[in-house]
């Protein structure tokens, strides 16, 4: 296999400018992860337009965003352990065993062990990405429009069955995203669709406006409600040290978590929250012989932490090779590449090695930086949890307004962002997830173009969608992920005696 792209990448990522951007990103990412309620997706949404207006080249923007992404997966554990309030969705499982450890006065040890397992997970994930991505890219080079279309169907099927507890709402979110993507000029026919003769909508709905509205405005409104529940109490960090015994004890859990995290990350659309939940549940089933999980077992801490970091790296695999994001956060990054008029896909490895390689190399460097940053300075980051909401939320909103205004220089776009944000808030209250909307939006144009190109090749025959082996396999996989979990549940319920059903 050819790894030239990686050497090109290290040359890019080690330039002093990109190294500095990486350090800033790791630092900001850890803070974003540590602060309750803002996670990687909000952080990236807020900083993307600023990076773009500063005129950073695409590879530097990607390095910044990737550093924030991995940084926040590290930082998320801090508030989970100390406050029992997960810093982001991927750190929910970390709180289950992390917070009991803190209450036993072992917060320092818990932060160290989880920092180490984050590092191991991160590195295993990046190695997986390095090895697997070129392979998948070489496979995908043979994809025609029909295969791409079926691939997107598969992506939405996975999303529907794995993300959130309410598949109908997840799928509605995807379709709404796809619909939003149809607004604007249709390049094939030159027709304007759903623009209502407004020149602003001619170019379509702006990605930055949509993402900031959906994530940061609605988040600020949700924080207003949780705020009413009272102030948090932060436990003492205590002594920070690692016992060799604990490292040996958690090695198995860390390695298993890393592998599960990577696999879940590669699956389209399923991010860190799914990865850490799957790995925690599995680890509990495998190792919890004495019933210590949930009461402060180091293994229950190591496994989900390794998984969410490994997942972050795995999520780049489908994004970089197929143009299908592996998580909500990579969906935003995909949108960022599109702002630069770069369409990710298998050709990206050959055509833009500085972007792909630079990003992957920066993940290696970033994980080392994050370990160095997170081990000695964890006490400083934990102080940040004392930052009151009346400083934090106005700050987030200033960033939102600046971000939107800086890409458009129009007040109308700020008002549009507000409207989208209020709508997003209503949807979130109803139990909808925002990530599927973004995924639908970034995939919408590509999905339609590929469908139409496929049918143009076949002269309108639908059979082209079922012709090649690859599309057939993808159809079967899509059917399997859509129906599989449901069938499995029914089957296992039938297997039990009626008395065992809860």
Partner 1 sequence: MDAHRHAARDRLSNRIAAIILLLFSLLYGYAGSVIEFSFSSDPLGPQVFPVMLAAILGLLSLIYLFVPGEGEAWPQGTVLMRCIALPALVLIAALLFEPIGFAGAMFVMTTGIARIFGASWKTSLIGGFLQAAVWYVIFGYLLEVYLPVGELFATSRRG
Burial category of 428 from C-beta neighbours within 10 Å (exposed 0-12, middle 13-18, buried 19 and up): middle
Interface with partner 1 includes 430 (CB under 8 A)?
yes
**Among residues 20, 141, 232, 398, the one that binds partner 1 under rule CB under 8 A:** 398
CA distance 67 to 72: 8
**Among residues 63, 129, 393, 482, the one that binds partner 1 under rule CB under 8 A:** 393
Interface with partner 1 includes 182 (CB under 8 A)?
yes
Interface with partner 1 includes 27 (CB under 8 A)?
no
Shortest distance in whole angstroms from residue 448 CB to partner 1: 5
Answer whether 21's CB lies under 8 Å from 54's CB: no
Interface with partner 1 includes 466 (CB under 8 A)?
no
Shortest distance in whole angstroms from residue 101 CB to partner 1: 30
Burial category of 318 from C-beta neighbours within 10 Å (exposed 0-12, middle 13-18, buried 19 and up): buried
CA distance 275 to 263: 8
Interface with partner 1 includes 202 (CB under 8 A)?
no
Sign of CA dihedral 257, 380, 21, 390: positive
CA distance 245 to 249: 6
Q: Which is nearer to partner 1, 11 or 455 (CB)?
A: 455
Kindly report the length of the chain: 502
Which residues lie closer than 8 Å to 486 by C-beta, 6 or more apart?
A: 161
Answer whether 426's CB lies under 8 Å from 214's CB: no
- Which ranges in 182-230 belong to alpha helices (H)? 207-212, 218-227
Question: Which range, of 40-48, 234-242, 276-284, 402-410, touches partner 1 by CB under 8 A?
Answer: 402-410
Interface with partner 1 includes 394 (CB under 8 A)?
yes
Question: Which range, of 66-74, 132-140, 187-195, 243-251, touches partner 1 by CB under 8 A?
Answer: 187-195
Interface with partner 1 includes 397 (CB under 8 A)?
yes
Answer whether 13's CB lies under 8 Å from 57's CB: no
Count of alpha carbons within 13 angstroms of residue 36, beta-carbon side: 25
Q: Which is nearer to partner 1, 356 or 464 (CB)?
A: 464
DSSP line for 222-254: HHHHHHTT----PPP-------HHHHHHHHHHH
Residue 159 pairs with which residues in a beta bridge? none
**Among residues 217, 266, 332, 442, the one that binds partner 1 under rule CB under 8 A:** 217
Answer whether 247's CB lies under 8 Å from 241's CB: no
**Among residues 131, 139, 141, 168, the one that binds partner 1 under rule CB under 8 A:** 168
CA distance 427 to 97: 31
**Among residues 141, 286, 411, 488, the one that binds partner 1 under rule CB under 8 A:** 411
Q: Is 25 helix (H, G, I), strand (E, B) or coil?
A: helix
**Among residues 20, 54, 131, 488, the one that binds partner 1 under rule CB under 8 A:** 54
Q: Which is nearer to partner 1, 220 or 319 (CB)?
A: 220
Question: Which range, of 58-66, 133-141, 305-313, 424-432, touches partner 1 by CB under 8 A?
Answer: 424-432
Question: Which range, of 68-76, 220-228, 294-302, 373-381, touches partner 1 by CB under 8 A?
Answer: 220-228
Q: Which is nearer to partner 1, 92 or 264 (CB)?
A: 92
Q: Which is nearer to partner 1, 166 or 240 (CB)?
A: 166
CA distance 209 to 407: 9
Residue 193 pairs with which residues in a beta bridge? 184
Question: Which range, of 32-40, 123-131, 325-333, 389-397, touches partner 1 by CB under 8 A?
Answer: 389-397
- Positions touching partner 1 (CB under 8 A) are 50, 53-54, 166, 168-169, 171-172, 175-176, 178-179, 182, 186, 188-191, 193-194, 217, 220-221, 224-225, 227-228, 388-391, 393-395, 397-398, 400-402, 405-406, 409, 411, 414-415, 418, 421-422, 425-426, 428-431, 448, 451-453, 455-456, 459-460
């Amino acid at each position: 296999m050819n790894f030239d792209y990686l050497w090109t990448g290290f040359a890019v990522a080690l330039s002093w400018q990109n190294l500095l951007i990486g350090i800033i990103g790791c630092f900001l990412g850890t803070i974003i992860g540590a602060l309750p309620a803002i996670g990687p997706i909000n952080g990236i949404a807020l900083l993307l337009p600023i990076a773009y207006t500063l005129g950073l080249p695409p590879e530097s923007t990607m390095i910044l965003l990737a550093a924030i992404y991995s940084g926040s997966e590290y930082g998320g554990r801090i508030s989970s352990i100390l406050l029992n309030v997960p810093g982001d969705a991927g750190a929910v499982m970390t709180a289950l065993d992390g917070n009991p450890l803190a209450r036993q006065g072992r917060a320092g040890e818990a932060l160290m062990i989880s920092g180490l397992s984050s590092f191991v997970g991160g590195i295993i994930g990046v190695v997986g990405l390095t090895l697997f991505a070129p392979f998948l890219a070489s496979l995908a080079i043979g994809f025609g429009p029909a295969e791409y279309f079926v691939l997107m169907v598969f992506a939405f099927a996975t999303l529907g069955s794995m993300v959130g507890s309410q598949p109908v709402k997840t799928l509605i979110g995807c379709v709404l995203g796809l619909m939003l993507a149809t607004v604007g000029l249709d390049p094939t026919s030159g027709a304007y669709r759903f623009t209502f003769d407004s020149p602003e909508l001619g170019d379509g709905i702006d990605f930055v406006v949509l993402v900031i509205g959906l994530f940061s405005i609605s988040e600020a409104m949700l924080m207003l409600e949780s705020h009413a529940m009272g102030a948090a109490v932060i436990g003492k960090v205590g002594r920070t040290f690692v016992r060799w015994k604990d490292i040996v004890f958690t090695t198995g859990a860390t390695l298993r978590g890393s592998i599960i995290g990577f696999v879940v990350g590669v699956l389209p659309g399923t991010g860190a929250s799914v990865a850490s939940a799957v790995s925690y549940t599995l680890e509990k089933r495998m190792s919890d012989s004495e019933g210590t999980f949930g009461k402060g077992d180091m293994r229950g801490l190591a496994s989900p932490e390794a998984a969410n970091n490994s997942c972050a790296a795995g999520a780049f695999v489908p994004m970089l090779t197929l143009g299908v994001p592996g998580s909500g956060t990579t969906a935003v990054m995909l949108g960022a590449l599109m702002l630069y008029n770069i369409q990710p896909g298998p050709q990206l490895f050959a055509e833009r090695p500085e972007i792909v390689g630079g990003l992957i190399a920066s993940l290696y460097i970033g994980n080392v930086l994050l370990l160095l940053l997170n081990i000695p300075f964890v006490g400083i980051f934990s102080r940040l949890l004392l930052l009151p909401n009346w400083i934090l939320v106005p700050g987030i909103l200033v960033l939102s307004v600046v971000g939107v205004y800086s890409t458009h220089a129009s007040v109308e776009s700020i008002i549009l962002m507000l409207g989208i944000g209020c709508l997003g808030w209503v949807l979130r209250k109803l139990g909808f997830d925002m990530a599927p909307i973004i995924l639908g939006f970034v995939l919408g144009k590509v999905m339609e173009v590929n469908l139409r190109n496929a049918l143009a090749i076949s002269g309108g025959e639908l059979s082209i969608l079922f012709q090649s082996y690859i599309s057939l396999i993808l159809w079967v996989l899509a059917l399997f992920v859509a129906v599989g979990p449901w069938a499995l549940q029914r089957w296992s319920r039938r297997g039990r005696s009626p008395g065992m059903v809860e």
